[in-house]
Structures are given as C-alpha cells and as structure tokens.
Structure 1
C-alpha cells in the first residue's frame, strides 16, 4: 500500500464499497482490468458462469465506489512481482468470459494472479477466520442452488444468498471497524 494517486502499470487498485472491496489492476492509458461478477444476477453474486474479465475506464470504475487507493499489499512481503509486460500480457490473455466464485475466484483473486501469480483473496480469508461456519454455509448454499436449478432454472435462488452474504459481510465490516 502507498499514498500515490497516480497508478502505474501493474498497480493493484482497491475500491472501497459499502460492504466489500472491489479490485482491479491498472493497465495504463487510464484503463483497469478487473473481474466483473454476474451480469444477470444483480449486484450480489457468489458463483456464476457468465462473468468476465474486462478492460474498463479507470474514471468510470472509480465513480461506482466511495474511495480507492493503490494497494500492492504483497510487495512488502517478498512476493515476486511480474513485469509490466507480463501483467499486460496476462490481462490481455485472460480478457473475456470467466467463471466467478466468491470463495475461489473473485476480483481480488484475479488481480493477485495478475501481479503476483498467487490465487488469494484476503477478504475471503478474513471471512473464513472471523465468521464461524462461513465455508460450510457457502458449500450448503451452492448445494441448494444446484438443487433448485435441477427443479426449475428460473427460481430466484439468489435472494436467500444475498441476505446471508450481506450478513456475513456486515459482520466482517463490524469486526474491521472494531479493530480500527
């Protein structure tokens, strides 16, 4: 993390939303590459097959969030950083359709892969550590989703998950606020 406000190619950009952080990697020319979640399931998504990695205007993306910062959080911990060319090649190669999974493949996972070649999301790790039963509930919800889809693919199964995910993220936010 640093206090710079002029991102360079390969910098990780952390956008602060109300309940979560969205992540992108700066790719130059005022553009970012980021994993955009479920296009047909509203604002809350935990798993879907119609997501995509997009290259979007940095000013347009930052309008959607309260604040943003450059946060190359693993640099200080000895992780090898890809070259700018390597990051650009990776973002170009991975652009397009992609499966989104909040636990194993979200926007934070994507940018960590872009910069460091590491598949990790600290938001998910914090949920695992601070919300008892988070992974069990997630696995149950995926199972319920599969069951509902077998019955009728038009069932709005995301309503239940939205409330559960919001509750878990609210708990994480409260824990974070207490730390500060």
Structure 2
C-alpha cells in the first residue's frame, strides 16, 4: 500500500481489493473498483484527459477505455469514499474473480451510455456480476418528473387557452 501512504482522502478504512470507490466530482460521482496496492480500475474517455473529466467526455463519445490507474491520480483534488452500497442487495463475487474479470478488461474500449452503461454500471458488474447504477435511476426519475411536469403545464396551458376562447 505504499502508493496510498502520502495520499489523504475521506475514507474510514483502507480500501481492500474488490471495493467500490465513489469519487466525488464537482457535478457528479465517478466510480472505480479498487484492485490493490494503490491501484483502481475505471472507465475513462477514449482520448483520456484530466481525471476530473472522466465520465463527462465519455458521455459525448459513447465510448470509454478501461484503465488501471493509481487511486490518487484518479481522485486528483477531489475526495472519495469506499462505497459497497449494494452489498445488502447483491452478493459480491469472490475477490479473486472480481480482480480476474477486471484485469482481463484493462485497456479495452467499451461502450458508454450515461443512463444504461456508465462507470457505476461497470464497477458493479465487476463486483456483483450485475450492472446497476443508482445515479442512472435517479437521472431517469428526474427526466421522467421533468417530462411529466412539462406535459402537465402544457395541458393546463391548452385548457386555459380554450376556456379563454369560449368567453369571446
């Protein structure tokens, strides 16, 4: 764990191989999986830029590259925590299997979709064998609520304009 010794971030314990790492970016959370010895695996833009733009650039390209990086480099100036939040819902695969699956994908190009195949989907698939993302569920709900509200306001506006026409 020498790579972590000089690195400080917000966490309650040292990450263990197979742990999910949630990185708090200014406008979103980026997800990685801890491999051990200070390294993580995550998806980054095909044309890799700064760590802070990881998921943002992938949204535009719809492709990402699986990379192994030092945790401290992936986090940059942001903070992170260990967040195995689905452990009560899904059984984690054996650590050796998680690491084998992860290492097999390093440097491969993979499809990326913010709502259906994002960085959280990627790491939960590695850990649990199930690709799940609370972020995408939240985004889909928000989009649905906005769409519903827009529809309701349109309907109210239409009804209001029809009632005004009858008065004349």
Question: For the residues of structure 1 that align with 2:15 and 2:62, how far apart are their CA atoms?
Answer: 31
3-state SS of paired residue (1:109): helix
Question: For the residues of structure 2 that align with 1:50 and 1:41, how far apart are their CA atoms?
Answer: 14
1:90 aligns with 2:66: no
Question: For the residues of structure 1 that align with 2:133 and 2:70, how far apart are their CA atoms?
Answer: 23
Report the structure number with the largest CA radius of gyration: 2
Which of the numbers 32, 44, 48 marks the counterpart of 1:36?
A: 44
| Structure 1: unaligned runs, 5 residues or longer | 136-180
Structure 1 stretches of at least 4 aligned residues deviating more than 2 Å after TM superposition? 37-45, 47-50, 130-135
Which residue of structure 1 lines up, in the alignment, with residue 87 of structure 2? 75
Which residue of structure 2 lines up, in the alignment, with residue 100 of structure 1? 112
Which of the numbers 93, 109, 112 marks the counterpart of 2:124?
A: 112
- Count of paired positions: 131
The 1:6–1:116 alpha-carbon spacing in structure 2 relative to 1, beyond 3 Å, is same
Question: For the residues of structure 2 that align with 1:115 and 1:40, how far apart are their CA atoms?
Answer: 24
Which residue of structure 2 lines up, in the alignment, with residue 142 of structure 1? none
1:60 aligns with 2:83: no
Question: For the residues of structure 1 that align with 2:119 and 2:13, how far apart are their CA atoms?
Answer: 21
Contact 1:35/1:52 (CA < 8 Å) preserved in 2?
A: yes
Which of the numbers 10, 18, 42 marks the counterpart of 2:18?
A: 10
Question: For the residues of structure 2 that align with 1:29 and 1:40, how far apart are their CA atoms?
Answer: 23
- TM-score for the superposition, normalised by structure 2: 0.70
Contact 2:46/2:109 (CA < 8 Å) preserved in 1?
A: no
The 1:62–1:36 alpha-carbon spacing in structure 2 relative to 1, beyond 3 Å, is same
Which residue of structure 2 lines up, in the alignment, with residue 130 of structure 1? 142
Question: For the residues of structure 1 that align with 2:96 and 2:28, how far apart are their CA atoms?
Answer: 30
